[in-house]
Chain A
Amino acid sequence: MSQIFAEGLVCPLDKNNVDTDQIIPKQFLTSVSRDGFAEALFYDWRYLANEQPNPDFVLNEPAYKGASILLTRANFGCGSSREHAPWAIQQYGFNVVIAESFADIFFNNSINNGMLLISLSASNIEFLFSRCQQGTQEWKIDLAGQQIILGNNAAVGFQIDPDIKQRLLSGLDFIGASEQFEPHISGYEKQRATAQPWLG
């Protein structure tokens, strides 16, 4: 297995509290499919009312075309539990999001789709944004070694829960993993039905 989980162009989205209504607005949630959400990503910011691309939005800048690492600020993904949000981010081409912090449900949803979400201190995030101001950045993400390789011998280390790291590295089917506990689940159900028969 490669040391490098992902590598590519970094797109800086300089905002706090980016909510899932911004990541993917409600009109795209009536789909019954898991696919086709790339165009919907950040729709209200990305497109003007006449549906033309908004030239002022960072994703539309030619320099960030093809970006695969998203850099943002605190509390990214707050709000609704819609998994359409990580689907849209991933289908657009981002497999890594770096932020000061993430909302819990969004974090779990992203991991469940094999995306890597990296939380860093405010000062490290500030440092990475300042790098982006100096020119477009291409970074490598070394998940096994837990570092963002910035090039020219510069790197920023990150922390990650060991269970999550293992899941991302092994690509384990998490339903399949839980199904291994079938005897425990059946046992729990029997005990529950006896001790608390009102639960159904």
Chain B
Amino acid sequence: MMAKTLYQKIYQSHIVAPVNGSTDLLFVDRHLIHEVTSPQAFAGLRQAGRTVRRPDLTYATMDHNVSTQLRSIDAAGETSRKQLEALATNCKEFNVPLLDLMHPDQGIVHVIGPELGLTQPGMIIVCGDSHTSTHGAFGAIAFGIGTSEVEHVLATQTLQQQVAKTLKVEVTGSLSPFVTPKDVIMAVIGQLGTAGGNGYVAEFCGSAIRGMSMEGRMTLCNMSIEMGAKAGLIAPDEVTFAYLKGKPHAPQAEHWDAAVSYWQSLYSDADAVFDKTVTIAAENIRPQVTWGTNPEQVIAVDQPIPSPESFSDLIKADAARRALTYMGIEAGQKLTDLKVDVVFIGSCTNSRIEDLRQAAAVVQGKQVASGVRALIVPGSGQVKRQAEAEGLADIFKASGFEWREPGCSMCLGMNDDRVEAGQRCASTSNRNFEGRQGRGSRTHLVSPAMAAAAAIAGRFVDISYVERAEGSYS
């Protein structure tokens, strides 16, 4: 039998029927929905007299639009309220379970899926959100879809798909202290470019990946979309199984052994052929910071901001020129000389408990620099409760951070949290596009520890250097 990649194994096990030519109809195991990309899909169903085929495989939450300052459906404005109410109405009418604003487990869709055990190895998982790639951390094919496809999945529990090309990203060795999965994925994007993964599903492997927690693997897969990959995934292992055990929607006792035995078959065969392979040594990765307006415009914190002339590609040089102007910076400047106005720790990339622990370790006993607005937005009710129980919330509050309710918050400026025009933000989110966090906002993507250090210093900091100098690490 021909050797297969993990992606190919999962794809083939989900073929309901070949449609025509190279298109297959695939079964969808989990369909996650939220308020922004679903209302038109439900309206379409209603208009065509269709219903939700498998409400039992569909789960909804409220995250993009909600205020994280107040638990009120009115708090983020009139149009947001209408959209949140539409989700509640649609879920009720079509019997879709909803974690609404008042539910103790409400949170960002890509945080709650895994922590409720909805996300499992070997599944196909879709959601009307590009960061659905997050769930690939469990060895699932997980990808974002548009609203027409949301409607298609609601109606049929399937999607028409074609086989993607496969990309192997191997990260060898082990990460240096203070280099996190966020830095790894930013370095990968820097190397491959924002379109380097177009048409591919990326599989991450290698000892540095094996050494990551599930939270770290989720951060990694989350940003696969930022290099254009259709999905990112990691073969499940003991770390995956241990994470899932006991989760509310994970296989329960009577099925656990059978499920694990199936999950153990989910890996790329040793002689499987990938269409493209990239190998990166973990030791060469330093804390990363984006300097421009797309995620491939990234450097290590100790590198100078590049000059447009350093790009041989004329279009990239022009993009760099525009980015420098938009970001209000100059070639040759040091990142550590840039003052920050806002620090945002949160989003589906970095709002899990491990992210908050890393941030708390940096800020404990220190104060947010004067003039800096710093907020921490846990990804879910569960993360919030755990952080409070571990004393992390008290550390943040004592340091001068705002401690918020769960939601997408300042990642995308769709709610009552914005970065003002011209303000510079150190953000643990995933996109530094022009205007992403608010019109004229200047976003620098970083890891939670780097964001926390920037909040304290009021400018970017090379945390690996500082911590070595202070003797925190031997």
Contacts and interface: CB of A to CB of B under 8 A. Distances in A.
Nearest to A44: B435
Nearest to B144: A81
Given A109-B148, A175-B50, A184-B16, A101 B195 contact: yes
A113 B431 CA distance: 26
A30 B195 contact: no
B128 A81 contact: yes
Interface stretch (A2-10, A20-28, A132-140, A144-152): A20-28
A75 B162 CA distance: 20
A38 interface: no
A59 to B, nearest CB: 16
Most buried by B among A30, A33, A78, A105: A30
Given A30-B79, A185-B27, A79 B198 contact: no
A126 B19 CA distance: 36
Interface in A97-150: 101-105, 108-109, 112-113
B20 A185 contact: no
A50 interface: no
Contacts of B53: 185
B49 to A, nearest CB: 12
B206 interface: no
Contacts of B421: 49
A178 B156 contact: yes
A175 B53 CA distance: 12
Nearest to A32: B39
B156 to A, nearest CB: 5
Contact of B435 (A25, A82, A108): A25
A156 interface: no
Nearest to A109: B146
Nearest to B84: A30
B123 interface: yes
B86 A32 contact: yes
Given A21-B434, A29-B414, A192-B27, A198 B40 contact: no
Contact of B37 (A16, A27, A81): A81
A11 interface: no
Contacts of A15: 319
Interface residues of A, number: 56
B102 interface: no
Contacts of A86: 146
A60 to B, nearest CB: 18
Which size bracket describes the interface of B in this complex? 35 or more
Contacts of B155: 175, 178-179
B262 A196 contact: yes
Contacts of B17: 181, 184
Contacts of A19: 294, 431, 433
Contacts of A105: 130, 143-146
B156 A26 contact: no
B57 interface: yes
A22 B48 contact: no
A73 interface: yes
A47 B252 CA distance: 55
A83 B146 contact: yes
Best-surrounded residue of A16, A86, A161 (most CB of chain B within 10 A) = A16
A44 B337 CA distance: 29
B157 interface: yes
Interface in A176-191: 177-179, 181, 184-185, 188-189
Nearest to B154: A175
B144 A188 contact: no
Interface string A145-180: 000000000000000011100100000001101110
B152 interface: yes
B279 interface: no
Contact of B65 (A25, A30, A177, A200): A30
Contact of A163 (B22, B39, B412, B433): B22
A32 B89 CA distance: 12
B471 interface: no
Contact of A161 (B22, B86, B249): B22
A17 interface: yes
B21 interface: yes
B195 A83 contact: no
Contact of A198 (B48, B258, B315, B435): B258
A154 B65 CA distance: 49
Contacts of B23: 163
A1 interface: no
B228 to A, nearest CB: 6
Nearest to A188: B16
6 contacts: A104-B199, A105-B143, A178-B158, A199-B120, A199-B123, A200-B56
Given A32-B83, A81-B129, A163-B23, 6 more contacts: A25-B439, A26-B412, A44-B434, A112-B148, A175-B156, A199-B29
Interface of B: 16-17, 19-23, 25, 27, 29, 36-37, 39-40, 43, 48, 50, 53, 56-57, 64-65, 77, 79-80, 82-83, 86, 120, 123, 128-130, 132, 143-149, 151-152, 155-158, 160, 162, 194-195, 198-199, 228, 230, 249-252, 255-256, 258-259, 262, 294, 315-316, 319, 412-414, 421, 431, 433-436, 439-440
Interface of A: 15-17, 19, 21-22, 25-27, 29-34, 44, 49, 73-75, 78-83, 86, 101-105, 108-109, 112-113, 161-163, 166, 174-175, 177-179, 181, 184-185, 188-189, 192, 196-200
Which 8 residue pairs are nearest across A and B when measured between Cβ atoms? A109-B146, A198-B251, A83-B146, A75-B195, A112-B148, A30-B79, A32-B39, A81-B144
